[in-house]
Amino acid sequence: MARVRDHRGFVVFFFGCYVSGIAGLWAAPLQGLWLWTTFIGVGMGAFALALTFFAVRTRTAPATAAMSATSQGLGYLIGGTGPFLFGLLHDLTDAWHAPLALVLGLVMVNLVAGLLLGRPRYLEDALPSSRTGSTSSAG
């Protein structure tokens, strides 16, 4: 992954796998179950890609640590509530369409974030630069 500058193609590939699996579960849950779950499993490669972004989208160890801490903190918060919400939606609707729609919505958010992070840019380039020694006192 370090040799590839633009990772958006991987993001779209994983998104396509997720959507194929979710669409299959939605339309024909029992026919081809192994195929739908395989698509979703391949789509989960987006998680490994997200972890890779910490290293390939930063230049310095402090930036890598900052990006990792922020992303993992938010990610595990969402990941911790996901199974609860999935089960709650199934209990409330007594069907699988609402929970699958939740997963599809999260995959869409994943796509947008992945397309932004997949661009060939570095975190440090997006931060405002601090200019040391350039302060002048009026007087």
- Within 10 angstroms of residue 71's Cβ, the number of other Cβ atoms is 16
Query: The whole model's pTM is what?
Result: 0.81
* Tokens standing for residue 100: 């699958």
Domain range summary for the chain, segments of one domain joined by +: 8-120
Q: Classify residue 123 by its DSSP letter.
A: H
Condensed to tens digits (0 to 9), the pLDDT of residues 94-118 reads 999 999 999 999 999 999 999 998 8
Condensed to tens digits (0 to 9), the pLDDT of residues 42-63 reads 999 999 998 888 888 888 898 8
* Burial grade of 113 (CB within 10 A; 0-12, 13-18, 19 or more): middle
Which of 127 and 134 is assigned the larger pLDDT? Answer: 127
Q: In this model, does residue 131 exceed pLDDT 50?
A: no
Query: CA 69, 117, 37, 92 torsion: positive or negative?
Result: positive
Q: Which of 89, 103, 115 is nearest to 13 (CA)?
A: 115
Instruction: Output the CA angle 74-77-78, nearest 5 degrees.
Output: 90
